[in-house]
Amino acid sequence: MALKTEPFVLNIGPAHPSTHGVFRMRSTLDGEVIVDMEPVFGYLHRGIEKLAEERTYTGVIPLTDRLDYLASMSNNLAYCLAVEKLAGIEVPERAEYLRVILAELQRIASHLIAVGAFLNDCGAFMTPILYMIREREKILDLFDMVCGQRLTYNFMRVGGVSQDIPEEFLPALRRFVGQMPGFIDEYDRFLKENEILLARAKGVGILTREMAINSSAGGPVLRGSGVKWDIRKADPYSIYDRFEFDIPTGAAGDCYDRYRVRVEEMRQSVRIIKQAMEQLPSGPVRSEVPHLIHPPVGEAYAHIEAPKGELGFYLVSDNSIAPYRCHVRAPSLINLTALRDMVVGWKIADAIIIFGSIDICMGEVDR
């Protein structure tokens, strides 16, 4: 005898100890299984695109820090590349290498939080995330040495970086890069083959290859589904074509694959930093750029492989000191498009894990 059930609507969020930021999943449940889900966000909308139209080109850089506040260096880098493309400004060699080192350090820091938060959602009660925060503290100390800030750095400038690195940076970086692979191996030893983690994350929240491409996913979400697309290899920006590194991909597109892709990417980032450190030349760190930049009339789009996906800036200029239009191609917003299809059919506990495995930052989603 079939039991007559009635679906009911449940709000997961916005104030929830586990959703990464203020995000609401309006789910329709039948028992414990989710039959429909509508994401609702906008709680963190600050109008960054509109604000950017009223600031000078250099003045927009602190705004970009606050987009994906867990990966500020990458945001700065993308924006500076866009302005340099628009205005035709060259960047000196030393600045290029420094940018690469800082961007890859930032990728490791962002992935540490992403993996840690994902494992926290799986229920491992803070232990993995605290271990990873211990490593992230070392990276934040390095950033503190460079620019005095721990979260929103405002460090890159149009034409280079804002100042040169202090003396103690390179020895500390060398120490960090020596220890980091050991730590990643330690995390793998604890977690990679843990039966409970496999049971919770393998086969859960599958994003097929076609679905990933159709919903414009990027970053580890796309690579976890088996598409070998990384902007650093496909459309190299800055000096990434001089380094040797691999692109990890997953096979099935489930949460476990996305988690593995992020861990492997951390290893590859360490590899890139080692190569960049060896080849670091001396020289100026910023090219001669006027205080108020007047790019010629036109438009430009520059994109980078940010930790969360493809981050791009689309700038339109009308030869004044402020951008006419600055649009942010936010990876977190676009990766969320596939969330509904990934979540439907799973239980509430799985929905939290699937959402955590996409790794979004609300600052980017809402802008």
Partner 1 sequence: MTVALSGKEIAGQLEGKFPGSIVESGRDCIVVNSDSLLAVAAFLKDTQGLDLDYLNYITAIDYYDHFEVVYQLVSLEHNHSLVLKTRCYQRDNPTLLSVVNLWQGADFQEREIYDLMGIRFEGHPNMKRIVLWEGFQGHPLRKDYL
Partner 2 sequence: MNIINLGINNLGQPATLPPDWPGGFWWHWLVFTIIILAFVLSMVMGFIYFERRGMARMQARLGPNRVGPFGLLQPVADAIKVLLKEDIVPSKADKIVHWLAPVVAFVPVLLIFAVVPFQDGALLADLNIGILYVVAISSISTVGIFMAGWGSSNKYSLLGAMRGVAAIVSYEIPVVLAIAGVVMIAGSLSMNQIVLAQNVPFILLQPLGFLLFFIGSCAEINRSPFDLLEADSELVAGFHTEYSGMKFAMFYLVEYAEALAMSAIITTLFLGGWRGPILPPWLWFVIKVVAVFFVMIWTRTTLPRIRIDQMMALAWKFLLPLAMINLVITAVQVLVWPTAVPWVMIPVNLAIMAVLVVVWSKFFKLGWGRVEV
User: Contact positions toward partner 1, by CB under 8 A?
Assistant: 41-42, 45, 47, 49-50, 211, 213-217, 227, 229, 234-236, 301, 303, 310, 312, 314, 316, 324-325, 327, 329, 333-334, 336-338, 366-367
Categorise residue 260: left if φ over 0, alpha if ψ from -120 to 50, beta otherwise.
Answer: alpha
Using DSSP, state whether 21 is helix, strand or coil: coil
- Nearest CA among 322, 315, 312, 324 for reference residue 364: 312
- Enumerate residues 6+ apart whose C-beta is below 8 A from 2: none
Residue 26 beta carbon to partner 1: minimum distance, rounded to whole angstroms? 12
Q: How many CB atoms lie within 10 A of CB 251?
A: 11
**Which of partner 2, partner 1, none binds 310 (CB below 5-8 Å, type-dependent)?**
partner 1
What is the distance between the alpha carbons of residues 104 and 106, in angstroms, rounded to a whole number?
Answer: 5
Task: Output 146 or 334, the one with its CB closest to partner 1.
Answer: 334
Q: In residues, how long is the chain?
A: 367
**Which of partner 1, partner 2, none binds 350 (CB below 5-8 Å, type-dependent)?**
partner 2
Using DSSP, state whether 157 is helix, strand or coil: strand
**Which of partner 1, partner 2, none binds 366 (CB below 5-8 Å, type-dependent)?**
partner 1
Using DSSP, state whether 258 is helix, strand or coil: helix
**Which of partner 2, partner 1, none binds 349 (CB below 5-8 Å, type-dependent)?**
partner 2
17 part of the interface to partner 2, by CB under 8 A? yes
| Element at 327 (helix H, strand E) | strand 325-329
**Which of partner 2, partner 1, none binds 151 (CB below 5-8 Å, type-dependent)?**
none
**Which of partner 2, partner 1, none binds 367 (CB below 5-8 Å, type-dependent)?**
partner 1
202 part of the interface to partner 2, by CB under 8 A? yes
From 116-124, 226-234, 277-285, 302-310, give the range in contact with partner 2 by CB under 8 A: 116-124
Among 194, 208, 275, 337, the residue binding partner 2 under the rule CB under 8 A is 194
CA neighbours within 13 Å on the CB side: how many for 163?
11
φ, ψ dihedrals at 104, nearest 5°: -70, -35
Residues that bind partner 2 (CB under 8 A): 8, 10, 12, 17-18, 32, 119-127, 130-131, 134, 190, 192-200, 202-203, 252, 347-350, 352
